[in-house]
Chain A
Amino acid sequence: GQNIDQPTEMTATEGAIVQINCTYQTSGFNGLFWYQQHAGEAPTFLSYNVLDGLEEKGRFSSFLSRSKGYSYLLLKELQMKDSASYLCAVFDYGGSQGNLIFGKGTKLSVKP
């Protein structure tokens, strides 16, 4: 089985930095995804980590520690448009091919 934990909600100020944590327990591991989802819209891909360490993409960075079952998404220079839910997802080896399993998401509110 698998378990993915993220904080339910977070609040941060425009221009600040925020870190969204994700811990996971899976029967196997083949990488971790982060998705962004604005209210009423589809999730969109942010990042993928399969090796330990930090991956940076502009204002967004994602970190992975496989030994600790831990990842975080770091958002810098927050903008109002970053208000969204952030979904952590890991691959699970159940079924004939396995699948991507999502956490419940962290709703981030950015305030002026």
Chain B
Amino acid sequence: NAGVTQTPKFQVLKTGQSMTLQCAQDMNHEYMSWYRQDPGMGLRLIHYSVGAGITDQGEVPNGYNVSRSTTEDFPLRLLSAAPSQTSVYFCASSYSSPLSGNTIYFGEGSWLTVV
């Protein structure tokens, strides 16, 4: 029962470094997304994908890239880390778009600190 798996759970980066947050799901879900959660701001959508080979921007995409080469994996890349990207990142997936009322399942989160 792996569900949605995110790695790493904790990471400290220096300003300007790049890194990739990994996300994998084993539920054969078509829809995957990345959110960031900051105090007082709630969950904000970064990027999402409705299927392999298809990605789109969410509310706060700047500074992040994604790709979806397989149904299972949806990595999030920070191109040049900035202190403003210090946050908790959640990967999520659902069978198809939440438009149809499909439940979104979240990974356990990745705590990222940029110094």
Contacts and interface: CB of A to CB of B under 8 A. Distances in A.
Interface of A: 30-31, 33, 40-45, 48, 50, 87, 89, 91, 95-105
A91 B50 CA distance: 15
B83 interface: no
B58 A42 contact: no
B99 A91 contact: yes
B93 to A, nearest CB: 12
B42 A97 contact: no
Contact of B108 (A42, A96, A101): A42
A87 B44 CA distance: 12
Contacts of A98: 97, 99
B34 to A, nearest CB: 11
Contact of A104 (B41, B45, B105): B41
B42 A87 contact: yes
Contact of B58 (A99, A104, A105): A99
B44 to A, nearest CB: 8
Given A99-B48, A100-B45, A104-B41, 7 more contacts: A42-B90, A43-B90, A95-B48, A95-B56, A95-B57, A96-B56, A105-B42
Interface in B49-66: 50, 56-59
B50 A97 contact: yes
B48 A48 contact: no
B68 to A, nearest CB: 13
Contact of B106 (A43, A95, A105): A43
